[in-house]
Amino acid sequence: MGGRGQMDQIQFQDRRAAGRALARKVARYRALPGLLVLALPRGGVPVAFEVARELGAPLDIFLVRKLGVPGHEELAMGAIATGDVLVLNPDVVAGLRIPEPVIHAAAMRETEELQRREREYRGHAPPPDLQDRTVILVDDGLATGSTMRAAVQAVRAQSPRRIIVAVPVGAESTCAALAREADEVVCAATPEPFLAVGYWYQEFMQTTDEEVRHLLAVSREPQRLAA
C-alpha cells in the first residue's frame, strides 16, 4: 500500500484509537480459556488497554528492551526480555559487523533500564503466571520485530497454552516471520511501503511512565475497565 491518499485511510489518530481498531480484529478470542493481554511498555500499553477492555480480559505488562545500533539507536540490532532472553537481528549484526563486546555493553545498559521499569510499573507485585494461559502480546506496531520476537521467546519459556501477537500496524514481512514463532499473528494493517511505525499515527508522542501506571491501575478496577 502506498501513496498519501491510501495512508490517510489507515492512519490512526493515536494509540488508544489504534487499540480500539485492533480490538475489533481480536474480538473472536474473547472466549478462549485463561485469556491474558500482555502489553510491551511503553507504547504497547495504551493499545493493549483497549484490547483488554474489549475482551474483558486482565491486562499486564511484559518488559522488553530494544538494543539499538550505537549512533543509530532507532535501528534494532536485537532485544532483551525479562527472563534473560537475548534475541539478535542477524542481518543487522552481520551487515554492520557489530562486534560482540558492543552487543554485550548495550545489553547490560538495557538490562538496567528493564529492571528499573519492573520496579516502576510493578512495584512489589509478582508477574502473572503464564502457564496454560492464552497470551495476547500487544505492541503499537512491528518494524523489524526484534522486540516482539524476544517477548514471544521469553513467554514461550513459561509454558503458555497459546501465544497470539497482535498489533495495529506492521511490516508485512515481519508479520509473516513472526507467524513462524507465535501461534497466531494479527496485524490489523500491513501497508507498503511500511517506512516506520510512527508514520501510521497522527499522534505518536512517547508514552510516559505515568500513563503506563495509570492505565494499569484502571485496568485492575473491573467496574472502570468495563465502562
Tens digit of each residue's pLDDT (9 = 90 or more) over 166-206: 999 999 999 999 999 999 999 999 998 998 999 999 999 99
Among residues 205, 213, 199, 164, the alpha carbon closest in space to that of 15 is found at 205
The CATH code that applies to domain 4-64+130-225 is 3.40.50.2020
Determine the average pLDDT of the residues in 18-46. 95
- pTM of model > 0.95: no
For residue range 87-122, list pLDDT tens digits in order.
Answer: 888 889 999 999 999 999 999 999 988 888 888 898
Q: Report in angstroms the alpha-carbon separations of 220 from 23, 41, 85, 181, 216.
A: 18, 17, 28, 30, 6
Residue spans per domain, the chain: 4-64+130-225
Is the pLDDT score of 5 beyond 60?
Answer: no
Task: Kindly report the three-state secondary structure assignment for every residue of 93-142.
Answer: HHHCCCCHHHHHHHHHHHHHHHHHHHHHHHCCCCCCCCCCCEEEEECCCE
Distance CA 179, CA 193 (A): 20
Give the whole-angstrom CA distance, residue 144 versus residue 141: 10
**Closest by Cα among 130, 126, 152 to 139:** 152
- 222 against 54, higher pLDDT: 54
- State pLDDT tens for residues 209-220: 999 999 999 998
Q: What is the pLDDT of residues 128-138, one digit of tens each?
A: 899 999 999 99
Nearest CA to 182 among 202, 167, 199?
Answer: 167
